[in-house]
Amino acid sequence: MSFEDQFHSLQLKRLAVHRSIIATFKEIHGRLFINRHLSIDGKNILEQREFGAWKVWTAHSGTGLPGWPRIGLLHSFYRSGTPSGENIAVQSQFDMLASHGVDVTLVGVYSDAAVGNVFQTLKTGVSVARGTGLSPPAEIRIGDFDVLHVHNAFPNISHRWLAEVSVPIVATIHNYRAFCAIGTFTRDGKGCFECAEESPWKSVTHACYRDSRIATLPIALQQSGSHSWAKFLQSLKVTLVPGEPMRGILKGLGIQNSVTLPQPAGQENIGEASSPEPKDQWLFVGRLDRDKGISDLLKVWPQGEKLVVVGAGPSEMECLDLIRTRSLNVEMFGAQQRDVVAGLMSTSRGLVFSSKALEGAPLVYGEALSVGLPVLAAQGNVLADQVNLDGTGATFSLTDSDSLCSGINGVTQQRDLLSRTCLEIYESRYTTSQWLEGLLAVYKSVLK
């Protein structure tokens, strides 16, 4: 077989691996096939197992890429009925590592068992307050990993158990839950830092978590206790954050060990490069709720500008009312698959990001940059700071229609230049290859 034929065959095998993993994760919240093995040329690629509340996916077991450690990804998945960027990010990272040939295992535990179950909810609350919770059963063999990469422990995974794990640990910080009960530094749709600046008990006073003082109490107890998530993060050699502005905020809160490693778009070239003559429309992608600011955006959105809204959530009816009463040129697309979103990104004038939450570094930013789509971000979240640093768009005030119009006009007039800048920033920071290189360097640093 010629070199060209061998290379083509290898590419086809990698594509098959990638498709197998994607197909598997389409069932991540549905029925799981226990002990099902996916293989190519008789070689085990992906194994799925289940141990009670724990679900495990392993790729390239014992046959991983030379030079890479054996990695365990640990994540407490949020409720399947609630869209979660963190869940998607973790699944995407497993996919990228597995597609690259790394020996990687995703160990996940789910919060769905507590839905509608009062006893389970109370048990989880006590575990959160004490920092106990669940630890993986012995069958999962955490000690076999070279590095354990922790993403989210709330509300299921024991902080005390993590503090006793014998293998080196790296943690990715996706939000601010170590200091804020809801992880966003918002309250009633506005920025709030009372718990970080004064006391975690402020969250109980304001009933921040699920609008319930009782539900918020365990989080406040954990944040003020000896086994708090903040103390655990501070004890590690390295924590990862997806953006430089977020790293600065966490440093001010006492997390001094953070390294910035942007979350890549997940697949190279998720869509065609943005058209040099895009449609006369703007794009919003995100959950439709109070913290994402979609209702505030529609209150100041210019009537002459078209906006396509992709997403679903509790603010949907309020959005429809605003569209009708203000006679806005807004199309509601609902939740869409990634390929549809990529197509819309490739043909829109810009991405509008209206979140009132502080945010970390939303995955949608890298996806927009990958197709050269400029970003119009609401002031007050870290993405607005990132846009200003990168020169990839403009910012605006959610309470000032003139500010929004100025941002729209600025992006429109400089779109070609901004689009080129977006592509340059993507190539310099958000590709999968750069993420893999940065991640391997971090893993090696904790193994020294």
Q: Identify whether residues 29 and 162 lie together within a single domain.
A: yes
CATH number for the domain that contains residue 372: 3.40.50.2000
Which residues are paired to 21 by β-bridges?
none
Q: Which element (helix H / strand E) includes 393?
A: strand 393-396
Query: pLDDT (tens digit, 9 = 90+) per residue, 234-262?
Result: 999 999 999 999 999 999 999 999 999 99
Q: Reply yes or no on whether the pLDDT at 10 is more than 50.
A: no
**4 vs 128, which has greater pLDDT?**
128
Query: CA-to-CA distance for 67 and 65, rounded, in angstroms?
Result: 6
And the tokens for 406?
Answer: 């100025």
In this predicted structure, what is the pLDDT of residue 81? 60
**161 within a domain of the structure (yes/no):** yes
Q: 96: how many CB neighbours lie within 10 A of its CB?
A: 21
Q: Reply yes or no on whether the pLDDT at 40 is more than 50.
A: no
Q: Identify whether residues 294 and 424 lie together within a single domain.
A: yes
| Pairing mode of beta strands 37-40, 43-51 | antiparallel
Q: Reply yes or no on whether the pLDDT at 12 is more than 90.
A: no
Q: What are the distances in angstroms from CA 48 to CA 4, 18, 104, 107, 243?
A: 34, 16, 12, 10, 32
Query: pLDDT (tens digit, 9 = 90+) per residue, 159-177?
Result: 999 999 999 999 999 999 9
Q: Identify whether residues 257 and 340 lie together within a single domain.
A: no
**35 vs 258, which has greater pLDDT?**
258
Q: Identify whether residues 243 and 326 lie together within a single domain.
A: no
Range of the domain at 412: 281-429
Q: Reply yes or no on whether the pLDDT at 149 is more than 70.
A: yes
Query: pLDDT (tens digit, 9 = 90+) per residue, 262-287?
Result: 988 765 545 555 555 678 999 999 99
Q: Which is nearest to 78 in space by CA: 35, 29, 144?
A: 29
Average pLDDT value for the chain? 86
Q: Identify whether residues 302 and 418 lie together within a single domain.
A: yes
Q: Identify whether residues 247 and 291 lie together within a single domain.
A: no
**212 within a domain of the structure (yes/no):** no
In this predicted structure, what is the pLDDT of residue 61? 86
Q: Identify whether residues 109 and 243 lie together within a single domain.
A: yes
Q: Which residue in this structure is represented by tokens 């890298």?
A: 366
Counting residues of the chain whose pLDDT is more than 90, the rounded percentage is 67
Q: 175: how many CB neighbours lie within 10 A of its CB?
A: 20
Q: Identify whether residues 28 and 43 lie together within a single domain.
A: yes
Q: How many domains does the chain have?
A: 2
In this predicted structure, what is the pLDDT of residue 266? 61
Q: 158: how many CB neighbours lie within 10 A of its CB?
A: 18
Query: Residue 277 burial (CB < 10 Å; 0-12/13-18/19+)?
Result: exposed
**59 within a domain of the structure (yes/no):** yes
CATH number for the domain that contains residue 120: 3.40.50
Q: Identify whether residues 379 and 314 lie together within a single domain.
A: yes
Q: Which is nearest to 370 in space by CA: 428, 440, 308?
A: 428
In this predicted structure, what is the pLDDT of residue 18? 45
In this predicted structure, what is the pLDDT of residue 62? 85
**307 within a domain of the structure (yes/no):** yes
Which residues are paired to 37 by β-bridges?
47
Q: Identify whether residues 259 and 373 lie together within a single domain.
A: no
**167 within a domain of the structure (yes/no):** yes
**383 within a domain of the structure (yes/no):** yes
Q: Identify whether residues 140 and 255 lie together within a single domain.
A: yes
Query: CA-to-CA distance for 419 and 217, rounded, in angstroms?
Result: 47
Decide if 353 contacts 393 (C-beta within 8 A). no
**191 within a domain of the structure (yes/no):** no
Q: pTM, whole model, 2 decimals?
A: 0.83
Q: Identify whether residues 238 and 363 lie together within a single domain.
A: no
**197 within a domain of the structure (yes/no):** no
**371 vs 5, which has greater pLDDT?**
371
Query: pLDDT (tens digit, 9 = 90+) per residue, 360-369?
Result: 888 899 999 9
